[in-house]
Amino acid sequence: MTYSYNDIDSYLNGELQAEELQQFEQELRSNTQLQEQVNSYRLLNSTVGKHQLAEQTIPELKQLLDPLTQQYFKQQKAKVFTLKRSMYMLAAAASVVLILLLALPGVSPDGYTVDNMPGAIVRGKEEEKAKAAQLFNNEQYAEAVQAFQQLKASGPADAAVDFYLAVSLLKTKQYTAALSLFEPLANGASVYAEDAHFFAALSAYHLQQHEKAKQYAEQVKEGSRYWKNAKAILKKEK
């Protein structure tokens, strides 16, 4: 079955109906081309989101910079500046640059984003998986952990449940439990395998399992949305 990018967008935004969602996920498990398309679309959304964040940050930086500019670089009536005054201006300029750099968002191991879990919107009837997805998407991670654990205990194997349960555990700092789920995902063939390499590395990093953190971080591909975060882990593990 062929899916368009509109279908992929609806999947990632949780807008597919229950039957459509089931068919899409069934196809996703066996169709490597569709897996690549979903991963590419996720990466595209992540990149666009970062650019939007940068654009939103510019007015804040300008607001921060303007008072400093007025204080240290206001026009002087005198045409000749003394050496001492010039040194003060250089020091002020250095301070502004430092503040500017500190205000800009940097890349850190924990500076990651995660897509909303698909399936949060189910038309026609309520489902336990949809409720768990909604908790996750609302960033109610402790409640999401409980909901996903119930699903995992009572239902068939589901890579999506395992992945979002693991992320919820990571968000609530239950690193050992998170790592126990991320490792099989990273070594498996599901659509979550690529992302799971990074999250396994991050979990191991927080557990101070240095060799394991490096092992999984090194497996994150350069085209991955988490490649820079994985590099940050490797830098800290040197």
pLDDT at 1: 66
Nearest CA among 184, 199, 193, 191 for reference residue 229:
199
Residue 145 lies in a domain: yes
For residue 223, the domain's CATH number is 1.25.40.10
Residues 99 and 140 in one domain: no
With DSSP H G I counted as helix, E B as strand and the rest as coil, what are the percentages for the chain, rounded to 5?
70, 0, 30
- 133 and 98: one domain? no
Residue 9 domain flag: no
Handedness of CA 166, 171, 177, 179 (dihedral sign): positive
Does residue 144 sit in the same domain as residue 65? no
Query: How many whole angstroms separate alpha carbon 20 and alpha carbon 236?
Result: 43
Sort 116 into a burial class: Cβ within 10 Å, 0-12 / 13-18 / 19+: middle
How much is the pLDDT for 226? 93
For residue 116, give the amino acid letter. N
Same domain, 96 and 176: no
Residues 133 and 96 in one domain: no
Cβ-contact 166, 199 below 8 angstroms? yes
C-alpha–C-alpha distance, residues 141 and 164, integer Å: 10
pLDDT at 80: 41
Let me know whether 213 and 140 are in one domain: yes
The pLDDT of residue 216 is: 97
- Specify whether 72 is located in the same domain as 141: no
| Cα 232 from chain centroid (whole Å) | 14
Q: Which amino acid is at 236?
A: K
Alpha carbon separation from 130 to 94, 124, 141, 148, 174 (Å, rounded): 52, 12, 14, 10, 23
Residue 146 sits in the same domain as residue 227: yes
| pLDDT at residue 182 in the model | 97
This model's pTM is above 0.95: no
State the Cα–Cα distance between residues 180 and 165, nearest whole angstrom: 11
For residues 220 and 159, state if they share a domain: yes
231 in the same domain as 133 = yes
Q: Kindly state the helix (H) or strand (E) to which residue 75 belongs, with its residue range.
A: none
Q: Is residue 6 domain-resident?
A: no
Query: How many whole angstroms separate alpha carbon 25 and alpha carbon 191?
Result: 10
pLDDT by residue for the chain (238 residues), tens digit each?
677 777 888 887 777 777 888 888 888 878 888 888 887 777 776 655 555 555 555 555 556 555 544 554 454 444 444 444 545 554 555 555 455 444 444 568 898 999 888 876 554 434 888 899 999 999 999 999 999 999 999 888 899 999 999 999 999 999 999 999 999 999 998 889 999 999 999 999 999 999 999 999 999 998 898 999 999 999 998 7
* Within-domain flag for 151: yes
Residue 22 falls within a domain, yes or no?
Answer: no
Are 171 and 228 contained in the same domain? Answer: yes
**In this structure, is residue 153 part of a structural domain?**
yes
Is 20 within a domain? Answer: no
The reply to whether 96 and 153 lie within a common domain is no
Kindly state whether residue 147 falls inside one of the protein's structural domains.
yes
Domain hosting 165: range is 128-236
Angle at 223 between CA 102 and CA 109, to 5 degrees: 40
Indicate the number of domains in the chain: 2
